[in-house]
Amino acid sequence: MLCREDHCKEIYTYIKIKLLLQYVSSEMIKKVESIWRQKSRLNWCKLGDRNTKLFHISANLRKFRNSIRYIEYNSKIHSSSIDVKDVAVHFFSYFANRVVIGASGSKKILVIDSGWLEHLLTIEEVKQAVWDYDGSKAPGPNEFTFSFYKKTWSLLSSNIFDMVNSFFLL
């Protein structure tokens, strides 16, 4: 007969194995979907851009999906294409004007901005950067995707934070 402690260890092991299997199966499903997505893109490259009705519908749909239909700026929504363009030009011109050209022609960062670039990161900033990435994108050199880091954040957060900070402290 098992004692209470052994029984708890067995349940704990069972739960760990079950969670691991769920994670592995969900990762396998994602990989299979990724393979099918890649195969469909290959077929599209071979057959899709003939001058067909399907091609034109797909091209127009992609154009519609990639367009900016409205933008909110200064608590006002701009929906005409001219207004959206003007707001975008105004927004990005602000950043273009912050770069100063030196005497040698090299770009220099203003002193105000350089202090912000050199500040030490917080763990919240690192976590936000990890969460901003799509988990299904191509893995890095260690072959771990961002979904892995998101799922194991509670265990690895201090290691990830130390790694990122050590990069910036070089």
Whole-angstrom distance, CA of residue 73 vs CA of residue 83: 10
How does pLDDT run across 53-79, given as a tens digit for each residue? Answer: 777 787 888 888 888 888 888 888 888
Task: Place 161 in a pLDDT band, splitting at 50, 70 and 90.
Answer: confident
pLDDT digits (tens, 9 = 90+) for 2-54: 566 666 777 777 778 887 778 877 888 888 777 777 776 666 666 555 667 77
Predicted confidence (pLDDT) per residue in 77-92, tens digit: 888 888 888 888 888 8
- Above 70 in pLDDT, residue 107? no
Beta strand spans in 43-150 (E): 71-73, 76-78, 99-101, 107-109
The 10 Å Cβ neighbour count of residue 81 is 12
- The rounded distance, in Å, linking the Cα atoms of 169 and 121 is 10
Closest C-alpha to 136, from 22, 8, 19, 27: 27
pLDDT tens per residue across span 115-159: 666 777 888 888 888 888 887 776 566 677 888 888 888 888 888
Band of residue 99 on the pLDDT scale cut at 50, 70, 90 = low
Enter the pTM of the model: 0.35
